[in-house]
Amino acid sequence: MDTSFGVLFEHLTAGRFVGAVVIFTVTSFIVDFASKPSYPDSLPRVGHGKGFVASLRDHWSYFTRFQDWMQEGYEKHSKYGRLVVVPSSASRPAKIVIPQSQTTWMLEQPDSVIGTHEAHNDILYSEYNFLGKRLSDDVYHTRVVHKSIARALSALIPGTQEELKDSIDKVFGLDTEQWKSVNVWDSWLSIVPQVTNRMLIGADGHVNRNSALLESMVKFTDCVVQSSFLFCMFPKSLHPIVGPLLTIPNWIHYWRGAKHTLPVIQKRLDDMNKKAAGDPAYHDWLEPEDFITWTIRVARAEGNSFELQPSVIAKRLLPIEFAAIHTTTLTGLNMILDLVSSDLSLGYLEGLREEAARVFKEEGGKWTKNGLSRLYRIDSAIRESQRLSIFATTQVERKVVARSGITNPTQGWHAPYGSSLVLNWQGLHHDPDLHHEPERYDAFRYSNPREEYESRPAEQKDPAEALRLKKMGMVTTSDSHLAFSHGRHACPGRFFVAHELKMAIAYIVMNYDIKHINKKPEVQWMGQTVIPPLQARVEVRRRKGSVSRSYADGNNQDRKAE
């Protein structure tokens, strides 16, 4: 052994090694603390106060106290139009919580001043979780969805119906005699990925319903959530070291899924290339309407050869899968639990069932955009669950990216470069001044006014009122309805998600009885994120005489239900 190395190893004792690690870690926290934006002392704040020691206490308390801090800040400051600074995790700067009165100002700022993409990357640690800095630096996949999904909604409805029928029947069963106990979280994790897969990669049943692919999608989503919690515990300066290690499982589940998606992507590229080249065999061929097709179209239109690589397209599926699976599953879970734990005398389930059956019959056994738009009660029941059962304390997060920071012209406060600006989702959705009896689930809170308006004679209908009532729909965001974010960067896939959820709830209530439960299971909070009641169960049974026609095409196929 070289002499210098020999001397080194002679002096490298276990105690010295541990000491070096401790010194390095403490130094990393100090460097991280010094590099975070410093907010003016004049800004009101909650938590343990200012200074290095107070910040360490805040970081330690973040996982158990954050929800309490947000509520305290809302009651003392946000509710009265004042901002408040709330501590965050070790890897993030403290949050400047913007009051409702300043929401419009914040959302009108250009992306060069307050960045949405940069904030999302910080929240999800995208460079590591979504497998590459170049992929995380560009919002290409979001741009594709913005450009494509609205135009494709009608084309997506039949396939969505087909996947919902298949997945719900498999999860809930067809037995009309015996009650079946189902885990609500696991049920939605079986339904949502299959529908998402149909929208992402098309109708090849051998692939989009492949159990190994669906499992890899779910596990990848779980890994993003789990690793995001772990990243919070480390100062940002250590992320280049711990990031690749924490996200090894992400890569594993990507590779397992890519074995199934890459052949589909390559074939689609080949087919679309042949079509574009005028191959006579493809004269009558039409490309499927799904994310793979959309991303190829946009990449060609932009002359973007990087985004036409099959491996890049396969990785672009990942953030879409995460967003679609995670939030839609949480919404579906809460919707079912809110519904079946509500007062039976209010007749919510029967009201939803009557509306679904009536509109479905009027549509001839096939859903359309028009038919889904008339599901006022189901839309209201979902929106009300989104209002009541939030899955994060903050929403609409933005990052100050202007080097000079930003100053609020109305109130005079200044947020330096790197500041995190958020809205208090918890406070706004549970404020009694904004929502009557905010802690009560009122499934028809938003549909009753719409149905009352529709029942009026034509001469008593005011177009301005009709427009106001239309804004009560679940996809219409506002400064008091933040489930899909708000502003120009609101969730671009919310229209598809709304159709998916409305069709799912309609199918469930038409075809299944669900036993009432006395109390909705409690959730737990870790930092700003909810841990849902993963073990919650309900009992379901196929309804005798329920709709037996195929939900997808109206043909009499499903005779097992009778």
CB 389 within 8 Å of CB 457: no
Residue carrying structure tokens 């899909």: 484
CB 476 within 8 Å of CB 373: no
User: What b/e string do you get for 21-50 counting C-beta neighbours within 10 Å, with b at 16 or more?
Assistant: eeeeeeebbeebbeebbebeeebebbbbee
| Six token digits for residue 386 | 């989104």
For helices 248-276 and 310-341, angle between their N-to-C axes, nearest 10 degrees: 110
Q: Nearest-5° angle of CA 101, CA 102, CA 105? A: 135
Rounded CA-CA distance 307/497 in Å is 25
Rounded CA-CA distance 506/352 in Å is 7
Rounded CA-CA distance 344/348 in Å is 7
| Six token digits for residue 141 | 């996949």
Amino acid at 562: E
- Annotated binding-site residues read 491
Amino acid at 358: R
- Annotated binding-site residues for heme read 491
CB 533 within 8 Å of CB 360: no
Q: What is the largest CA-CA distance in the chain?
A: 98
CA-wise closest residue to 493 among 291, 262, 253, 201: 291
Residue carrying structure tokens 């919510």: 348
